[in-house]
Amino acid sequence: MTEKKARLSRRNFLVTLGAGGAAAAAAVATKNSTPAVQSPSKDKRATRGYEASEHVNNYYRTTKV
């Protein structure tokens, strides 16, 4: 009885290496792409919206041409 030995050729090695790299990249991408859940802030300033303060008005005044 002759047993066939699995011979790892250069081509099979490169295919295996590429598949492993792709799997690792996919795992990292899915780990980092999960959206962060933001809890609602109880700070009233966050719900008030944009407010032009004195230093903002000064900046706008200095940028006029």
Give the whole-angstrom CA distance, residue 63 versus residue 56. 11
Instruction: State residue 59's pLDDT score.
Output: 92
DSSP 34: S
pLDDT of residue 54: 93
- pLDDT, averaged in runs of 10, over the chain (65 residues): 67 89 84 59 64 90 87
For the beta carbon of residue 30, count every other beta carbon within 10 angstroms: 9
Q: Tokens 């002759």, residue?
A: 2
Cα 22 from Cα 51, distance rounded (Å): 48
